[in-house]
Chains A and B, each alone.
Chain A
Amino acid sequence: MASDELFASGHRGCAGCGEAIAVRMVLQAAGPNTIIANVTGCLEVMTTAYPETAWKVPWIHTAFENAAAVASGIDVALKKLGKRSGINILAFGGDGGTFDIGFQALSGMLERGNNVTYIVFDNEAYMNTGIQRCSSTPFAASTTTSPAGKVSIGKKQKKKPIASIVAAHDIPYTATAAIANYRDLKRKVKKAVDVDGPSFVHIFSPCPTGWRYPSELTVELSRMAVETGVFVLWEVEGPDLNNIKVTYRPKERKPVEKYLKMQGRFRHLFKPERRTDILNKIQKDVDEKWKWLEGLNEMAR
């Protein structure tokens, strides 16, 4: 690791933590003139156990639901004090602190137009408290509060489409990114911090602990999510969802089953018996979402 890394090694993240990989890339793209407001979650716990810290940039954590509001306060304060120029203000949230409890503060910040880049590291459940379902958890995933059982196939609802909802706030820049596509990720973060006004990057961050897969497969899981179309890489520039651009197209989309089979949280779809009905439904949902995005993309051309 280069010595000028802004996210220091030696933090307490799990081996193969997708979020830690993503954070490192984000800071490489954002650079040293960056201030971070972080929500409560794995990231805060694993990087700041007093008196140690993994952050080489100014960093503040207050609570679970309000990084967007704290960052707004930093934005206006630095502006008033004449220190705003050349500084990137980033808000970091997990999916819990963004899709659920922090959604109001996020929406408020987007409407106000604070010059903050909000980045959500999405590992699709409340991992810090022990793998409970949240509104980011995908359909049929087994979590500790949506367990697969004799009469349950796991989470009953679909994942909340956070990035589309955010883009609908008519902000200057919204994007989705994945760690396997790291050049795309860093390019998008750079774009996000460079625009004037609120921007949002949704980063897909596999979690070996919560998804139950071997630690060394994190990047592979990220790649498979993109190659299957489970997670689509796109960006919207300017205040119009019609300007959506899919930034990466798999040559041929792989079947979603390949991605699901790699993870313990979907094991019940294959054993003790194969749940073809559920697998078909998941594939159909992915196909439909892809079609919708492609349609928007065509419209934009």
Chain B
Amino acid sequence: MGTKQVVKGNFATAVAAKLVKVDVVPAYPITPSTLFPEQISTYIANGEMDAELLLVESEHSAMSAAIGASASGARVATATASQGLKLMSEMLFIASGMRLPIVTAVGNRALSAPINIWCDHQDTIAERDSGWLQFYAENNQNALDLMIMAFKISEDHRVLLPSMVGLDAFVLTHTMEGVDVPLQEEVDKFLPPYKPVYTLDVKNPITFGSFGTPAYYTEFKYQQWEAMKNAEEVIDEVFSEFYSKFSRKYEKLSEYRTDDADIIFLTMGSMSGTARAAVDKLREKGIKVGAAKLTVFRPFPFDEIKALSKKAKVLAVVDRNISFGFGGAVFGEVAGALINEKENPILMDFILGLGGRDVTQDAFSAMTDKAEASIKKGKADKMVNWINLKGELRG
């Protein structure tokens, strides 16, 4: 049943790429994802991995080459973060529009300006409409497992869409944790070789990336929409098969002490563990709080969010991102999912942890105070709440 190794999150994504036997890795280094191409380079240099590493001159070219390689029938992975993901952005939409199951690890990092290399989710959140599946890892084990599962989900012929796996900058990418690394034969059994539907083949020439006039464009987009819908069921199947083979359980939305909770925190990524620890502490004080973690952000798990909302008086969305002029993006998604429900909890949005500021248990206490005040009043004073602002900006 594999080996236990103490590794950084970046290493976990690289070892996953090795275990799924990727054929091509086009890559450009960017902090905090640099360890990925470094590790792949080392594997290849030592003859431990049989893949083509294409060290390109930009992230834009990395994703362009990934598209060319994937369209040629290769299994392709890369890694990036922040500004690098932004430079890839144009090509992200093209990869999904061409239905190419590329998998990208993203070291979730804040965006400039001001330049900042630390963690938040703004980079991937800003690509939520790119047609990529989005998974968020809570720890290094998640990063490894989700990378492996992402290939199986993306390559399913009902889906054929690319995936990104987010792991928090430094909190995960550069932090050592004990991880169960599966054996090669176990992964081989779980993930069959990539079988593309169409490829660039001189014996059977096809045209990729046509000019789509108004007479056809919508139908292309509808099929992408359907593929993303299909992914909901495929994700459940793959999570369940993974559990049966590797005994590690994944859910689109995982709940913790929510059954009798008045206040439920909804989180993504590494702060989810902090949320559960904070819940335990607050429970000791007799405050009825619970936590829920989103592992899958695209496709968005509407049914799970609806079920969750029935349990709480306050559903507190903790956003490590900001959509200027609106609020947190996850909050917007949750509110959208609940729009047609007869009864809804008080929805509150908390913005925190931007640019790598620690998300502490104290922050959850502060949010709990605000949520309790809302329960007392029967409504939230403010829809969007910035937590732990400094000095005169403090609200």
CB contacts (< 8 Å) of A58 on chain B: these are 200-202, 205-208
- Give 1 or 0 for each of A266-282: 1 = CB within 8 Å of chain B CB: 00000000000000000
Contact in complex: B57, A107 (CB < 8 Å) = yes
Contact in complex: A62, B209 (CB < 8 Å) = yes
Interface residues of A in 80-110 (CB under 8 A from B): 80-81, 83, 87, 104-105, 107-108
User: For the complex, what is the distance from the CA of A58 to the CA of B205, rounded to whole Å?
Assistant: 4
In this complex, which of B24, B26, B65 has the most chain A Cβ atoms within 10 angstroms of its Cβ? B65
User: For the complex, what is the distance from the CA of A229 to the CA of B202, rounded to whole Å?
Assistant: 39
User: For the complex, what is the distance from the CA of A63 to the CA of B51, rounded to whole Å?
Assistant: 26
- Shortest CB-to-CB span from B195 to chain A, Å, is 12
Question: What residue in chain A is nearest B198 (Cβ atoms)?
Answer: A58
CB contacts (< 8 Å) of A108 on chain B: these are 56-58, 61
Contact in complex: B52, A55 (CB < 8 Å) = no
- Interface size for chain A: under 10, 10 to 19, 20 to 34, or 35 or more residues? 35 or more
Contact in complex: B207, A63 (CB < 8 Å) = no
A62-B64, A66-B61, A73-B65 as given contacts; A79 in contact with B52, CB under 8 Å: yes
Contact in complex: A77, B23 (CB < 8 Å) = yes
A300 located at the interface, meaning its Cβ lies under 8 Å from any Cβ of chain B in the complex: no
Contact in complex: A73, B69 (CB < 8 Å) = yes
User: For the complex, what is the distance from the CA of A37 to the CA of B71, rounded to whole Å?
Assistant: 11
CB contacts (< 8 Å) of B24 on chain A: these are 73, 76-77, 80
Question: What residue in chain B is nearest A71 (Cβ atoms)?
Answer: B68
CB contacts (< 8 Å) of B69 on chain A: these are 73-74, 76-77
Question: What residue in chain B is nearest A75 (Cβ atoms)?
Answer: B68
User: For the complex, what is the distance from the CA of A33 to the CA of B205, rounded to whole Å?
Assistant: 10
- Shortest CB-to-CB span from A118 to chain B, Å, is 14
- Shortest CB-to-CB span from B91 to chain A, Å, is 7
B74 located at the interface, meaning its Cβ lies under 8 Å from any Cβ of chain A in the complex: yes
A59-B208, A108-B56 as given contacts; A66 in contact with B71, CB under 8 Å: no
A74-B72, A74-B200, A112-B55 as given contacts; A53 in contact with B207, CB under 8 Å: yes
- Shortest CB-to-CB span from B96 to chain A, Å, is 12
Contact in complex: B60, A78 (CB < 8 Å) = no
Main secondary structure of the interface of A (DSSP, over half): mixed
User: For the complex, what is the distance from the CA of A112 to the CA of B65, rounded to whole Å?
Assistant: 13
B325 located at the interface, meaning its Cβ lies under 8 Å from any Cβ of chain A in the complex: no
CB contacts (< 8 Å) of B206 on chain A: these are 58-59
Contact in complex: A44, B211 (CB < 8 Å) = yes
Contact in complex: A76, B64 (CB < 8 Å) = no
- Shortest CB-to-CB span from A185 to chain B, Å, is 23
Contact in complex: A72, B202 (CB < 8 Å) = no
User: For the complex, what is the distance from the CA of A74 to the CA of B206, rounded to whole Å?
Assistant: 15
A60 located at the interface, meaning its Cβ lies under 8 Å from any Cβ of chain B in the complex: yes
Partner of B211, one of A50, A79, A104: A50
Contact in complex: A78, B72 (CB < 8 Å) = yes
A284 located at the interface, meaning its Cβ lies under 8 Å from any Cβ of chain B in the complex: no
- Shortest CB-to-CB span from A270 to chain B, Å, is 38
Contact in complex: A50, B91 (CB < 8 Å) = no
CB contacts (< 8 Å) of A62 on chain B: these are 64, 67-68, 91, 94, 98, 209
Question: What residue in chain A is nearest B212 (Cβ atoms)?
Answer: A50
A65 located at the interface, meaning its Cβ lies under 8 Å from any Cβ of chain B in the complex: yes
CB contacts (< 8 Å) of B71 on chain A: these are 60, 73-74
Interface residues of B in 62-80 (CB under 8 A from A): 62, 64-74, 76
CB contacts (< 8 Å) of B3 on chain A: these are none
CB contacts (< 8 Å) of A48 on chain B: these are 207, 209-211
User: For the complex, what is the distance from the CA of A162 to the CA of B94, rounded to whole Å?
Assistant: 28
A32 located at the interface, meaning its Cβ lies under 8 Å from any Cβ of chain B in the complex: yes
User: For the complex, what is the distance from the CA of A48 to the CA of B91, rounded to whole Å?
Assistant: 20
User: For the complex, what is the distance from the CA of A112 to the CA of B52, rounded to whole Å?
Assistant: 13
A250 located at the interface, meaning its Cβ lies under 8 Å from any Cβ of chain B in the complex: no
Contact in complex: A104, B57 (CB < 8 Å) = yes
Question: What residue in chain A is nearest B65 (Cβ atoms)?
Answer: A73
In this complex, which of A38, A45, A80 has the most chain B Cβ atoms within 10 angstroms of its Cβ? A80
B216 located at the interface, meaning its Cβ lies under 8 Å from any Cβ of chain A in the complex: yes
Contact in complex: A73, B54 (CB < 8 Å) = yes
B340 located at the interface, meaning its Cβ lies under 8 Å from any Cβ of chain A in the complex: no
Question: What residue in chain B is nearest A74 (Cβ atoms)?
Answer: B68
Partner of B73, one of A56, A77, A79, A107: A77
- Shortest CB-to-CB span from B245 to chain A, Å, is 27
B213 located at the interface, meaning its Cβ lies under 8 Å from any Cβ of chain A in the complex: yes
- Shortest CB-to-CB span from A37 to chain B, Å, is 6
A191 located at the interface, meaning its Cβ lies under 8 Å from any Cβ of chain B in the complex: no
User: For the complex, what is the distance from the CA of A18 to the CA of B54, rounded to whole Å?
Assistant: 35
Interface residues of B (CB under 8 A from A): 23-24, 26, 50-52, 54-58, 60-62, 64-74, 76, 90-91, 94, 98, 200-202, 205-213, 216
17 extra interface residue pairs, beta carbon distance < 8 Å, beyond A73-B24, A83-B72: A44-B209, A58-B208, A60-B207, A60-B208, A61-B208, A62-B98, A63-B90, A66-B64, A69-B61, A73-B64, A74-B200, A77-B23, A77-B70, A77-B72, A80-B50, A104-B57, A104-B61
Leading 10 A-B pairs by shortest Cβ distance: A73-B68, A108-B57, A73-B65, A69-B64, A69-B61, A77-B69, A77-B74, A77-B72, A70-B68, A73-B69
